[in-house]
Structure 1
């Protein structure tokens, strides 16, 4: 069973998933058909999901398979999507089919890593709220 990592902060803004890993300070942008993949979570088998997307958009079937599987692998490698077993999670019935083809995109950013790694709750001292230290 594949699920979205529950330790991440994730939300959709204007059709784009923005995902922040507050443990590493990295954040991600997921767009296009990869958003439909994340919306389909939890699911049992990525091959079945890709096949259902190909059936929904048969004119793009070859491209969907060639582009979506590598993005799915990146989501696994970055621990955005996790494989879990026996967690009492039920896969969604048939996920919503995408209505149009948009290339799946996955981008990883580290430019705000220092800011996202600040811990303002625990780093407060007698001087007040945490201030980012100069490098």
Structure 2
């Protein structure tokens, strides 16, 4: 029996949305938000769909002009950062039948020119933290939300 990893979004404290090829991820508990584009957005989408790390890597090797080692390192580094930021949860399971969720996209891309590979970067923004943490009922002044009470 082989050990595999399943990935899931750390719901309900994490929400995400794909907008014009960019994934925007919000940690509602901590008030941080994140951005992933290009290869990073593809990796995120694969993780959210339950595609295995191996299948994500195979798809990316077919699509991008980079060595297998560079792509594998980039995927592993991004997954590690996503876990450290508590955006995903990794569950190790024993599997007897491998789940092959590779789509046919790699087959159609094999005959076309490969895309340039950029190492995915998880952009983190913390400027919404105070705004999201603000209690809109109790911690406002007469001006209303989002104006915080000023302690004098």
2:34 to 20, 28, 41: 28
1:106 to 112, 117, 122: 122
Which structure 2 residue ranges, 5 or more long, are not aligned? 1-5, 94-98
2:102 to 72, 82, 94: 94
CA distance, structure 2, for counterparts of residue 16 and residue 68 of structure 1: 17
Say which structure is richer in strand. 2
| 2:11 alignment partner in structure 1 | 6
CA RMSD of aligned residues (A): 3.2
CA contact (8 A) 2:55 2:101 kept: no
| 1:45 alignment partner in structure 2 | 52
Quote how far apart the aligned CAs of 1:92 are: 8.0
Quote how far apart the aligned CAs of 1:2 are: 0.5
Which structure 1 residue ranges, 5 or more long, are not aligned? none
CA contact (8 A) 1:33 1:68 kept: no
Q: Give structure 1 regions of 4+ aligned residues with deviation exceeding 6 angstroms.
A: none
CA distance, structure 1, for counterparts of residue 23 and residue 100 of structure 2: 19
CA contact (8 A) 2:66 2:117 kept: no
Quote how far apart the aligned CAs of 1:55 are: 3.2
Q: Give the TM-score normalised by the residue count of structure 2.
A: 0.66
State how many pairs are aligned: 129
Give the secondary-structure state (helix, strand or coil) at the position aligned to 2:83.
helix
Give the secondary-structure state (helix, strand or coil) at the position aligned to 1:23.
coil
Give the secondary-structure state (helix, strand or coil) at the position aligned to 1:19.
strand
| 1:72 alignment partner in structure 2 | 79
CA distance, structure 2, for counterparts of residue 68 and residue 85 of structure 1: 17
